[in-house]
Amino acid sequence: MKLRWQILLKRSFSNYPSSAKSSKTMNSKGIIAVCQMTATDNKAKNLEICTDLVSSAKRMNAQVVFLPEACDYIAGNKVQSVAMAESLDGPLLEQYKNLAKSFGVWLSLGGLHIKVDDETVSNTHVLISSNGEIKSTYSKLHLFDVDCKEVNVCLKESSYCKPGDKIVPPVATPVGNVALSICYDLRFPELSTSLAMQNAHILTFPSAFTYATGKAHWEPLLRARAIENQCYVVAAAQSGKHNDKRTSWGHAMVVDPWGTVIGECSEVNNIAVAEIDLEFLRRTRLSMPVFEHRRNDVYPALWPKLDSDAVANHQESETYKFGQVTVKSSGVFSKTDLTIAFTNKKCVVPGHVLVSPIRCVQRMSELTVKEVSDMFALVSKVIPIVEKAYNGTSSTVVVQDGKDAGQTIQHVHVHILPRRPGDYLNNDDIYRDLAKHDKADSTIGQWRSEEEMAQEADFLRKLFV
């Protein structure tokens, strides 16, 4: 099948605020492809179209490829929609996982029909890594139950689809933190703002917009979500006539954080390739810091509702994932819903402890504002406790944010080292020792057993009471 694609549009900076024109840029650019297609009730044919789209995107050096809602199929009626649905471990999704792996790209499957029971499906956005692993799934929160006689649109998605019940945190990908949503979610700005507050760089709205609503609202809504949240917006789209009852608007597009459309599809089965520039996003947010100007003393902050099951699992967990290793709960001496404080396997000074977010992220920039606030609130509580426990008069508090800063555990964490007069003749030597202490040939400190760490945690835990 022959496809056409459009190269990314070159951005002119002449209309941007002067404070966003930095001559020094970070190495923070990536290439994405947004896809457009006309799905039918033929799964095999739809997969063939998607394979051609992904192949074209790979030739254009795309690192993440975004496919639209219902890329698996669009059936002629709700009975057929339910009958054709598969589970998350079904054969069709396995083929998409192999597709991502074979081309070495991340895939956003913008809305698969996932079987719930014999009468119901969930509309589920699936994000797959380049090694074929499912990194995240999101079930559509807002279902399209609309009867607009003026434009001849009448659909009731809830008649066969079960709505989701939670916001899914953004996922770190090679091009930035990607937030998952679907189609009609676009009309509910609270969801996008909540995701932006969780440090999303890219908001996604894979869609099958009706022709009438798309013609009137598609681009204005996408640009509004990009501007108000200062995020890239990526909207893969269904296009054209799927069957006698259904026609989609198309116009898959990418919008930058300033609200400029930097990529758009025109043909039916097509891709548009665009550049994601996180340094440009950062400068946009710095020049107009709208999230700092939010009046949450007047109206509520749009934090997502905590997943009660996840919180319960954290509270009952025997181990916590800490980068590439695990921390036993016996070594944890204080915790919140978002953060743990725990004893260290190898200490630079007596009482050297760690504080980290429960969610496993490698860099500070990947944390939400709430996680950062919670983590350092716990740090401030831990400092006087360990100073008291180890007769300290001061504390060295350190974050090694990334490999070149000395980070060896791939998980954000804060070192707290209680200090005493004369413990180091040259105060800055403690940073040298911290950088070397966990190396295999280091003579700084002693590796400790789990029992020793648990005993210290029990001692510190009592000081919090």
Active-site positions?
413
pLDDT in tens, 348-364: 999 999 999 998 888 88
Residue 14's pLDDT is 31
Q: What is the C-alpha separation between 195 and 278, in angstroms, rounded?
A: 16
* 180 C-beta neighbours (distance < 10 Å), count: 30
Q: What is the pLDDT confidence band of residue 305, given thresholds at 50, 70 and 90?
A: low
Is the CA virtual torsion 434, 464, 313, 302 positive or negative?
negative
- Per CATH, the number for 319-462 is 3.30.428.10
Q: Classify residue 84 as left (phi > 0), alpha (psi -120 to 50) or beta.
A: alpha
Q: What is the mean pLDDT of residues 382-409?
A: 94
344 annotated among ligand-binding-site residues: yes
Under 8 Å between Cβ of 226 and 257 = yes
Residue 222's pLDDT is 98
Q: What is the pLDDT confidence band of residue 8, given thresholds at 50, 70 and 90?
A: very low
Under 8 Å between Cβ of 229 and 196 = yes
Per-position DSSP letters for 441-461, written without gaps between them: T--SS----HHHHHHHHHHHH
Q: What is the C-alpha separation between 221 and 186, in angstroms, rounded?
A: 7
User: Residue for token digits 């290439």?
Assistant: 31
Q: What is the C-alpha separation between 344 and 308, in angstroms, rounded?
A: 29
Alpha helices in 172-320 (DSSP H): 189-197, 211-229, 278-287, 308-316
Which tokens go with 105? 């790209």
pLDDT in tens, 49-93: 999 999 999 999 999 999 999 999 999 999 999 999 999 999 999
pLDDT in tens, 255-275: 999 999 999 998 789 999 999
Largest CA-CA distance found in the chain, in angstroms, rounded: 83
Q: What is the C-alpha separation between 228 and 211, in angstroms, rounded?
A: 25
Q: What is the mean pLDDT of residues 379-405?
A: 95
Under 8 Å between Cβ of 170 and 199 = yes
Residue 70's pLDDT is 98
415 annotated among ligand-binding-site residues: yes
Q: Is residue 51 packed enough to be buried (19+ CB in 10 Å), middle (13-18) or exposed (0-12)?
A: middle
Fold classification of 29-290 (topology level):
Nitrilase/N-carbamoyl-D-aminoacid amidohydrolase (3.60.110)
Per-residue pLDDT for 151 more than 90? no
Mention every residue, 6+ apart, whose C-beta is less than 8 A from residue 44: none
Q: What is the mean pLDDT of residues 364-379?
A: 90
Which tokens go with 283? 């400068």
Under 8 Å between Cβ of 170 and 204 = no
**CA-based R_g, the chain, Å:** 25
Report the percentage of the chain scoring pLDDT > 70: 91
- Domain(s) labelled CATH 3.30.428.10 in the chain stretch across 319-462
400 annotated among ligand-binding-site residues: yes
Q: What is the mean pLDDT of residues 427-442?
A: 88
Residue 27's pLDDT is 42
- Amino acid identity, residue 217? H
Which tokens go with 295? 């009046």
